[in-house]
Amino acid sequence: MNLPKVIADLVTAQNNFDSVAYAKCFADTAVVFDEGRTHNGRKEIAHWIADANKKYEATMKPVSFEEQETESILIAEVSGNFPGSPILMNYHMKIADDLIQSLKITG
C-alpha cells in the first residue's frame, strides 16, 4: 500500500510507541478528536498519545487508504491492551504542507 510519507511516519511512530515522533507528524496548530476529547497542538497531542500508549499499548497495521477531496482516510487494524482487540479503526485526516492538520479516530 502506498501511503503518504506523513502517514507512514505516523504508523511507524505508533508502532514504536514514540510519542515525540508521532506528534511531529502534526502541524503546530493541529487538532485530534479521540474518545470524545479534543487535543489541540503538538504538545497536547504528544501528551495524549503518550498516555494512550501506556494505557492501550496499541499498534497499527494499515488495511486501506483513500484520498478524497478534503480528507484522507486510513483504515487500520489496531491491536493492543483493550477489549475486542484487534479492531478496525478509521483515521480521518486533513493533510496540508506534508503535516496532519486534523485527525478524527472512529471505530
pLDDT at residue number 1: 83
Which three-class secondary structure string do you get for 36-57?
Answer: CEEEEHHHHHHHHHHHHHHHHC
What domain count does the chain have?
1
Cβ 37 vs Cβ 51: under 8 Å: no
- What percentage of the chain has pLDDT greater than the value 90? 93
Query: Which CATH number characterizes residue 37's domain?
Result: 3.10.450.50
Q: 30 is in which domain, residue-wise?
A: 5-106
Cβ 72 vs Cβ 66: under 8 Å: yes
Per DSSP, 97 falls in state T
pLDDT at 107 over 90: no
Q: Each residue of 31-83: pLDDT tens digit?
A: 999 989 999 999 999 999 999 999 999 999 999 999 988 899 999 999 999 99
